[in-house]
């Protein structure tokens, strides 16, 4: 079905940072524990929670990523239902949204660190080309540390050490650790060569300890903030949210979500090293890679007024295919989750306007047109100027200007 006429809407400029001044830093509490490309700013999520939900409501995020919506929901006394294709979700959430009432003990962490430094059975990631990413002696050192970590009791301390080990495993690799995208650089190779001239092992252990202590402190700050209330949430990583089967009768009072970007949504590739260290196998990685949105063939062609105008402008079949795939699968995910919303509930979708073939694509407008034909009314479109949001890399791409604004599309279920 085509939205034959454009839908009228006024875009309102806002600053979520100004609207939610109580959040003073995007990485407050445990928001900064894991780095994740194209993370939501917590201010935007908090704004929607405050405007459109009540305490006790359940919010769904089918593109949960690093769980920004989950943490903000729990801090506001809402329940969260989080899904993502990335298996990492199930490693991030138990730590980022720690459900214990008691603070973690630095002394226990220190004991566990000792156990790790004493070594144990080596752990070998199931990746034939892992050697490409490391100097052989560093790889062997990390295999001992990970082996020992995997023998620890499966509790929150093990998760703290897992998160810290992920950070040092990237830092001590040939992969550029200051950028999200996984790639080897010449400067990083020189850096590692330099480390190998000195006592790299002591340095690695020191860094692991510092990272783990910082993570523990952040988790303890969260425990203090929650003051005895236990967050209520469900999370499931490794799922395609477009075909996820919600329990019959499951209802949500809001959706707050930020889908992948039209181009450069390489989440699985970005986290490959992490996923192999976590113990995922080649076939697990292949399974989720095949489900990642830009790499799948479209199973239907979405048509809306704006999308058809963009299509008419594109010069290459490859770009049209990418566009078809993106809208088909992103909208499958939203259709699936939004079917579970109660009447009157809002769907708050946060997305930028990327450039394709020199043309700015108003993704929010395509979504708005699509859903206005499917029982949703557009309540508002808020434009937020981007201050800092790290996407994937500074590589040359088809969008050299980057995106200057992001848009919060607010739809109301009729
Ligand atoms: C923009 S990120 C979300 C970031 C998140 N809002 C945060 O604050 O961390 C988009 C997410 O979509 C996920 N994704 C891509 N394809 C998916 C699919 N078919 N089903 C579920 N999630 C998918 C990616 O793994 C990524 O985490």
Residues 176 and 88 in one domain: no
Q: Whose CA is nearest to atom 3 of ligand 1?
A: 65
Q: How far apart are CA 264 and CA 318, in angstroms?
A: 15
Residues 275 and 390 in one domain: yes
Q: Tell which of 226, 241, 264 closes a domain.
A: 226
Q: How far apart are CA 275 and CA 269, in angstroms?
A: 10
Q: How far apart are CA 181 and CA 173, in angstroms?
A: 13
Host domain of residue 121: 106-226
Residues 256 and 405 in one domain: yes
Q: Domains in the chain: how many in total? A: 2
Residues 253 and 321 in one domain: yes
Q: Tell which of 226, 242, 270 closes a domain.
A: 226
Give residue 12 CA to ligand 1 midpoint distance, Å.
26
Per-residue CA distances from 63 to 89, 148, 370 (Å): 10, 33, 19
Mind giving me the DSSP string for 93-119?
HHHHT---SSPPPHHHHHHHHHHHHH-
Q: What is the pLDDT of residue 404?
A: 80
Q: What is the pLDDT of residue 261?
A: 85
Q: Whose CA is nearest to atom 12 of ligand 1?
A: 63
Cβ < 6 A, ligand 1 pocket: 36, 38-40, 62-63, 65-66, 68, 83-86, 240-242, 258-260, 267, 291-293, 329, 333
Give residue 96 CA to ligand 1 midpoint distance, Å.
17
Q: What is the mean pLDDT of each run of 10 residues along the chain (414 residues)?
A: 67 95 96 91 97 97 98 97 98 96 97 92 95 97 97 96 97 89 91 97 97 98 93 96 96 97 81 97 95 86 95 90 94 98 98 90 96 96 76 44 81 98
Give residue 261 CA to ligand 1 midpoint distance, Å.
9
Residues 369 and 250 in one domain: yes
Q: What is the pLDDT of residue 318?
A: 87
Q: Whose CA is nearest to atom 27 of ligand 1?
A: 65
Residues 341 and 271 in one domain: yes
Q: How far apart are CA 32 and CA 151, in angstroms?
A: 27
CB 123 within 8 A of CB 55: no
Pocket probe mutation, ligand 1, options 30, 84, 332, max atoms within 8 Å of Cβ: 84
Q: Please, what is the angle between helix 186-197 and helix 136-150, to 10°? A: 80
Q: What is the pLDDT of residue 5?
A: 61
Q: Report yes or no on 133 lying in a domain.
A: yes
Q: Report yes or no on 2 lying in a domain.
A: no
Q: Report yes or no on 267 lying in a domain.
A: yes
Residues 406 and 313 in one domain: yes
Give residue 84 CA to ligand 1 midpoint distance, Å.
6
Residues 291 and 357 in one domain: yes
Q: Tell which of 226, 244, 259 closes a domain.
A: 226
Q: What is the pLDDT of residue 400?
A: 40
Give residue 188 CA to ligand 1 midpoint distance, Å.
28
Q: Whose CA is nearest to atom 1 of ligand 1?
A: 260
Q: Whose CA is nearest to atom 14 of ligand 1?
A: 85
Q: What is the pLDDT of residue 390?
A: 52
18, burial (CB in 10 Å: exposed 0-12, middle 13-18, buried 19+): exposed
Residues 238 and 207 in one domain: no
Q: Report yes or no on 99 lying in a domain.
A: no
Q: What is the pLDDT of residue 180?
A: 77
Q: Report yes or no on 236 lying in a domain.
A: yes
Residues 279 and 143 in one domain: no
Residues 307 and 217 in one domain: no
Pocket probe mutation, ligand 1, options 36, 260, 285, max atoms within 8 Å of Cβ: 260
Q: Report yes or no on 326 lying in a domain.
A: yes
Mind giving me the DSSP string for 300-336?
S----HHHHHHHHH---HHHHHHHHHHHHHHHHHHHH
Give residue 353 CA to ligand 1 midpoint distance, Å.
17
Q: Report yes or no on 329 lying in a domain.
A: yes
CB 115 within 8 A of CB 152: yes
Q: Report yes or no on 3 lying in a domain.
A: no
Q: Domain holding 329: CATH number?
A: 3.40.50.150
Q: What is the pLDDT of residue 395?
A: 43
Task: Report the atom number in ligand 1 closest to the C-alpha of 240.
Answer: 20
Q: What is the pLDDT of residue 282?
A: 95
């Amino acid at each position: 079905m085509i939205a034959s006429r454009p839908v009228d809407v006024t875009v309102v400029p806002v600053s979520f940072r100004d609207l939610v001044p109580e959040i003073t830093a995007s990485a407050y509490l445990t928001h900064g524990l894991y780095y994740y490309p194209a993370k939501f700013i917590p201010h935007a999520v908090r704004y929607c929670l405050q405007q459109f939900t009540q305490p006790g409501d359940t919010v769904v995020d089918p593109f949960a990523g690093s769980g920004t919506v989950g943490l903000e929901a729990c801090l506001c006394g809402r329940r969260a239902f989080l899904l993502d294709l990335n298996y990492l979700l199930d490693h991030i959430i138990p730590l980022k949204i720690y459900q214990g009432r008691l603070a973690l003990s630095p002394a226990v962490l220190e004991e566990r660190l000792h156990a790790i430094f004493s070594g144990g059975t080596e752990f070998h990631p199931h990746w034939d080309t892992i050697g490409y990413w490391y100097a052989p002696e560093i790889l062997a050192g990390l295999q001992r540390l990970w082996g020992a970590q995997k023998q620890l009791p499966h509790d929150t301390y093990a998760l703290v050490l897992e998160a810290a080990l992920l950070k040092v495993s990237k830092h001590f690799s040939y992969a550029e650790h200051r950028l999200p995208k996984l790639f080897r650089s010449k400067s990083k190779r020189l850096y590692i060569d330099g480390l190998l001239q000195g006592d790299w092992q002591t340095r690695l252990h020191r860094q692991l300890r510092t990272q783990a202590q910082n993570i523990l402190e952040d988790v303890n700050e969260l425990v203090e903030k929650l003051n005895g209330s236990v967050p209520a949430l469900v999370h499931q990583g490794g799922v395609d949210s477009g075909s996820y089967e919600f329990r019959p009768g499951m209802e949500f009072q809001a959706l707050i979500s930020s889908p992948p970007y039209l181009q450069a949504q390489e989440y699985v590739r970005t986290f490959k090293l992490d996923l192999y260290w976590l113990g995922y196998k080649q076939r697990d990685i292949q399974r989720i890679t095949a489900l990642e949105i830009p790499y799948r063939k479209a199973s239907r062609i979405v048509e809306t007024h704006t999308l058809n105008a963009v299509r008419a402008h594109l010069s290459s079949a490859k770009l049209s295919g990418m566009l078809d795939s993106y809208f088909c699968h992103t909208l499958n995910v939203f259709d699936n989750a939004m079917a579970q919303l109660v009447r009157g509930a809002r769907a708050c979708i946060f997305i930028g306007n990327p450039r394709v073939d020199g043309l700015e694509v108003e993704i929010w407008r395509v979504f708005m047109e699509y859903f206005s034909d499917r029982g949703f009314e557009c309540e508002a479109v808020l434009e937020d100027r981007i201050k800092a949001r790290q996407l994937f890399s500074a590589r040359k791409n088809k969008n050299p200007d980057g995106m200057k604004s992001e848009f919060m599309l607010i739809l109301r279920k009729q």
